[in-house]
Amino acid sequence: MTIETHTHCPYCALQCAMTLTPRALDAASGEPSLTVTGRSFPTNRGGLCKKGWTSSTLLDSDDRIRTPLVRDDNGELVPAEWSAALDLLAQRIRALQDEHGRDSIGVFGGGGLTNEKAYQLGKFARIALGTSRIDYNGRFCMSSAAAAANRAFGIDRGLPFPLTDLDAAKTVLMLGSNVAETMPPFLSHLAGVRGAGGLIIVDPRRSATARLTEEGQGIHVAPAPGTDLELLLGLTHIVIAERLFDIAGLEEHSTGFDDLRRSVAAWWPARVQQVTGVPVTVLRDVARRLSSGEETFILTGRGVEQHANGTDTATAAINLALVLGLPTRPGSGYGTLTGQGNGQGGREHGQKCDQLPGYRKITDPAARAHVAGVWGVRAEDLPGPGLPAVQLLASIDEPDGIRALLVHGSNPVISAPDVGAVRGRLARLNLLVVCDFFLSETAAMADIVLPVTQWAEEEGTMTNLEGRVIRRRRAVDPPDGVRSELWIFAELARRLDAPGRFDLEPALVFDELARASAGGVADYSGLSHDLLDDGGEAYWPYPSGSEGTPRPLLDGYRHPDGRARIVPVSVAPRPESTATGSQLTLITGRLLEHYQSGAQTRRVPELMAARGALEVTLHPSTAADRGLRDGDHAVLENARGTVTARVVTSVDIRPDTVFLPFHFTGAHSANLLTIDATDPISAMPEFKTAVVRVRAAAVH
């Protein structure tokens, strides 16, 4: 009998629904053991992208790690028994903490872990290791948008409305997101707004998404790289100056408008045109379209958020939305497009350096008391706030910094900014431990590597970009020798004589997560695996006894007085001077065929056949000025590093800009060139506007 498993894609936060079915195979066929078919679901409507269709390939990969690996006296990673590897790990953790203190152990999590594993990782760090030094790779993804939403709305839920609300939109302003490549099934929700001619895409490149505006279906706005904040201030100026908004409603539902009006007064259209390069006529057209009173949405993505002023830029987008009255208007809204598969859930339940489960602040005495009670420990024994990701990694070189790092669901050797420096720091650790299913670039540097289950080999839950909690289901058994992180946490906690309980069953861990989140902003207390298995709509907040909250802002904002906070922002100096002369501005981003650091997708033959090598996109005139043609190899360099890539020319990019995807490894890693300057509020790194020089590579 054929057994079908209904689950969700292992990649982005769209969390497309799919069905996995065992395939009858002979051993030499080379076909994946599971077939993948798209399943009807509100986000993807049965569609999948290339990554989703090929996702089961990795379950049978020959690259799979099937036994713990320990670095021997010769510097080689050699197989070890589980008990020996965990005994060694516990022994080395104890020794480092005895000599350097509990905060000498760092933990680096990931936005792809299930809610259960993310929750248990935060608990393990704080009561088994007793360390404050935990953060995760979501710091590189959603931190600016989260910080901006929290201070404006009192809640951070990527989309505070179901994705299907976009179907009826008449106007959508999307800044810094290329969903046509990063989330292709998303495009079905833009068909209506394209038909209405109301899709407005802000991107320095004419990306695949920007091209959707052609033939009268919208407007492509192409500001100079790094000027999104000035653009948003200018649009807000026009809306206010032309009185294209409801002043009485705005003042009733928010605070801070007078300060905002004064702060944007200096950003008149001609000045914004001078700074951004966007014509005044386009600025006015966009502002008036947004103010039409019809179903209107403003959406932001990483392109405007991955900056040292990312929180202020996201705040400027929120301010514009608040002036227009979008967040609380039925049929309209503001949201941000979460990237990683569980980027939303991963930041709610304890991986962030300053948070406890339920999106509680770790500095809040009431929050500490509640969570400590669930965990069976004293509140005073919980550590305080730690260090965000960039600072956590940088602390390796500091006298009181971390001496060991445990990495779960992340590959910072590729994904961190200024990775040349990061690689050097990781090599100087006393102990690097990586849990992964492949020998990623970070795992290859580790002292201990622990093989863990993949998505289709485990039970659990994920929270998608809408705040919808969904079930991940096990379709196949993991290979012999592979273990779940939940088992690893329990075994290590026992060896470290940790207090509290560390359950092995995901459903039991989720029940504890629900209790720990009760009363928090991200309240899951009314949810369980059983309820989710019934297939209901499960949007958090979902307190016990409720039916969930698909649109948490329609009934007012989540501050105590029910009003939003308008926070005026200003333009600050950039961490690196603007490109001048022969210099160019580097933009980094994703490709359709690859995901995040590429540790998974670079192991899928079909995806590598389509995009298997690093390519740099240059405007034809920019390439010609440097003696470059399509197919040549170019060197990109700055004070931080050097990258070599094959040249592709395109009129879809500005002459002052170059584009690199960040999925590739070694000397082809785009993050060798990015700077580790961070946003002062969110600690988001500046990924998008590195200054580089480009020249022809030497011919050998």
**Domain extents in the chain:** 5-60, 69-141+344-533, 143-336, 584-696
* pLDDT value of position 217: 94
Kindly state the average pLDDT of the residues 80-85.
98
Site of tokens 């289709």: 456
Per-residue pLDDT band for 580 (boundaries 50, 70, 90) equals confident
The pLDDT of residue 1: 43
What are the residues whose beta carbons fall under 8 Å from the beta carbon of 117, sequence distance 6 or more?
408, 409, 460, 484, 485, 486
- Listing DSSP states for 26-93 in one string gives -TTS---SEEEEE---TTTTT---HHHHTGGGGGG-TT---S-EEE-TTS-EEE--HHHHHHHHHHHH
Residues 496, 86: Cα–Cα separation, whole Å: 10
- 28-60: per-residue pLDDT in tens? 566 788 999 999 999 999 999 999 999 999 999
Confidence of residue 26 (pLDDT cuts 50, 70, 90): low
How many Å apart are CA 154 and CA 447, to the nearest integer? 42
Q: Is the dihedral of CA 336, 342, 348, 353 positive or negative?
A: negative
Long-range CB contacts (within 8 A, 24+) of 266-275: 267/230, 267/233, 267/234, 267/236, 267/237, 268/234, 268/237, 268/241, 269/234, 269/237, 269/238, 271/234, 272/230, 272/231, 272/233, 272/234, 272/237, 275/224, 275/227, 275/230
Percentage of the chain modeled with pLDDT above 90: 93
- The pLDDT mean for the chain works out to 95
The neighbour count for residue 602, using CB atoms within 10 Å, is 21
pLDDT tens, position by position, 103-129: 999 999 999 999 999 999 999 999 999
Percent of the chain with pLDDT over 70: 99
Q: What is the DSSP letter of 277?
A: -
Residue 555 has a pLDDT of 85
For range 174-180, the mean pLDDT: 96
Given a contact cutoff of 8 angstroms between Cβ atoms, the answer to whether 121 and 485 are in contact is: yes
Model confidence at 579, in pLDDT bands (50, 70, 90)? confident
pLDDT digits 0-9 by tens, 321-363: 999 999 999 999 999 998 898 999 999 999 999 999 999 999 9
Assigned CATH topology for domain 143-336: Dimethylsulfoxide Reductase; domain 2 (3.40.228)
3-class SS string, 405-460: EEEECCCHHHHCCCHHHHHHHHHCCCEEEEEECCCCCCHHHCCEEEEECCHHHCCE
Give the model confidence (pLDDT) of 477-509 as tens digits: 999 999 999 999 999 999 999 999 999 999 999
Contact between 161 and 335 under an 8 Å Cβ cutoff? The reply is yes
Q: Where do the H-state alpha helices sit in 175-268? A: 179-182, 191-195, 228-241, 247-253, 257-264
Residue type for position 215: E
Q: What is the pLDDT of residues 598-625, one digit of tens each?
A: 999 999 999 999 999 999 999 999 999 9
Tell me, what's the pLDDT at 2?
63
The confidence score (pLDDT) of residue 23 equals 85
Query: Is the separation of the CB atoms in 313 and 349 below 8 Å?
Result: no
pLDDT value, residue 25 = 62
Cβ contacts of residue 204 below 8 Å, gap of 6+?
Answer: 222, 223, 224, 225, 587, 653, 654, 657
- The rounded distance, in Å, linking the Cα atoms of 230 and 309 is 11
Count CB neighbours of 457 within 10 A: 17
Assign domain 584-696 to its CATH architecture: Beta Barrel (2.40)
- Quickly name the fold that domain 5-60 has: N-terminal domain of TfIIb (2.20.25)
Q: How many residues does the chain have?
A: 700
149, amino acid identity: A
The closest alpha carbon to 152, from 30, 9, 321, belongs to 321
Q: Does position 699 have pLDDT exceeding 80, yes or no?
A: no
Which is nearest to 557 in space by CA: 158, 156, 46, 200? 156
Query: Other CB atoms closer than 10 Å to residue 238's CB: what's the count?
Result: 23
Per-residue pLDDT of 553-572, as tens digits, reads 998 899 999 999 999 999 99
Q: Return d(Cα 459, Cα 505) in angstroms, integer.
A: 9
- At 28 the pLDDT is 52
- Give the CATH number of domain 69-141+344-533: 3.40.50.740
Query: pLDDT by residue (tens digit) across 642-674?
Result: 999 999 999 999 999 999 999 999 999 999 999
Per CATH, 143-336 and 584-696 having the same topology is answered: no
The answer to whether residue 27 scores a pLDDT higher than 60 is no
